[in-house]
Amino acid sequence: MENETSNTSLLQGRSLGLLGAGNMAEALARGVINSGAMPAGRILVSDVSAERRELFQRELGIAATDDNVEVVASSDLVVVCVKPQQVGAVLQQAAPAVRPERHVIASICAGVTTARLEQPLPAGARVVRVMPNTPMLIGLGASCLCGGKNARAEDLAAVEALFACASLTMRVEERLMDAVTGLSGSGPAYLFYLVEAMVAAGVAEGFTREQASALATRTVLGAARMLEQTGLPPEELRRRVTSPNGTTQAAVERLDRDQVKESITAAVRRAAERSRELGR
């Protein structure tokens, strides 16, 4: 199931708690507020960093605390936005305030399974696992989600509506969540890596860094929009721009000779493998 628009009615009357005030928590909060799904006054965030708490208060008008229990106690929809290595300790600390009949606990922690999320929480805890990516910061993210054993249909719908405020959403089976991490979760970095190389090549050919960056950025943006708007497979779009014996063919032949496609495939699969390692 895919969704590109937020059904904000599913969030009416709810309160949101964010355990962690990093970039992804900020992106989610901005998306929720900007969409009108929920006012800042119904969101509470916790973080150990006073600087991040102050940012949420100053720029978003969101109350902030260093107390995870306070966040859970004041919210019915809670999103865990900490590093995978921290999630166990954070949930153990928050667990006394979790009421399974009230709370939905979502997590964006890479590699952390729903079973691991449920372990420190009270029996019957309703858990949803989500893997978003950083373009949520500009409202163009991609998020996949799956439910734990106690998650209800309405829990998934609410979490989906939440993340749809800043991203395309897709429900998948949990067995695919590590692959999601490798493909779309880490995916923006692959594009940034490509643009780095394109800019370096442009500079080597005589452009200023600013000129090369502008050309490479617009090229990637335009190509992505073509994929989205035409609905054509990338193979076909590549074929259409590759004239026989032309410049693009020369470039693609070099990429093929260097096995770039195989390297990218291996990189995505290594990221997925690392996600599985983090979950163990």
Q: Tokens 């074929």 sit at which residue?
A: 239
Instruction: Pick the last residue of a domain from 120, 146, 177.
Output: 177
Identify the pLDDT of residue 81. 97
Q: How many domains does the chain have?
A: 2
Distances (CA, A) of 90 to 63, 79, 81, 116, 213: 19, 12, 10, 12, 40
Residues 82 and 158 in one domain: yes
Give the model's pLDDT for residue 44. Answer: 98
CA-to-CA distance for 53 and 27, rounded, in angstroms? 14
Q: What is the DSSP string of 89-134?
A: HHHHHHGGG--TTT-EEEE--TT--HHHHHTTSPTT-EEEEEE--G
User: Which residues have CB under 8 Å from 93's CB, separation 6+?
Assistant: 68, 69
Sheet strands side by side (includes 77-80): 2-3, 167-171, 141-147, 126-131, 104-107, 77-80, 16-19, 43-46, 63-65
Question: Is-contact 78 23, C-beta < 8 A?
Answer: no
What's residue 280's pLDDT?
77
Within 8 A by CB and 6+ apart from 246, the residues are none
Q: pTM for the complete prediction?
A: 0.90
In a domain, 253, yes or no: yes
β-pairing verdict for 43-46 and 77-80: unpaired
Whether residue 38 sits in one domain with residue 74: yes
Whether residue 161 sits in one domain with residue 41? yes
Instruction: Give the pLDDT of residue 4.
Output: 53
10-residue mean pLDDT profile of the chain (280 residues): values are 64 95 95 93 97 97 97 97 94 96 97 95 98 93 97 97 96 97 96 98 98 98 97 97 96 97 97 89
pLDDT at site 3: 58
Q: Are residues 229 and 202 in the same domain?
A: yes
- Radius of gyration in angstroms for the set of CA atoms belonging to the chain, rounded to a whole number: 21
CATH code at position 82:
3.40.50.720
Which residue range(s) make up the domain with 262? Answer: 187-279
pLDDT for the residue 6: 54
Place of tokens 């734990």: 148
Q: How many CA atoms does the CB half-sphere of 209 hold within 13 Å?
A: 3
Q: Is residue 182 part of a domain?
A: no
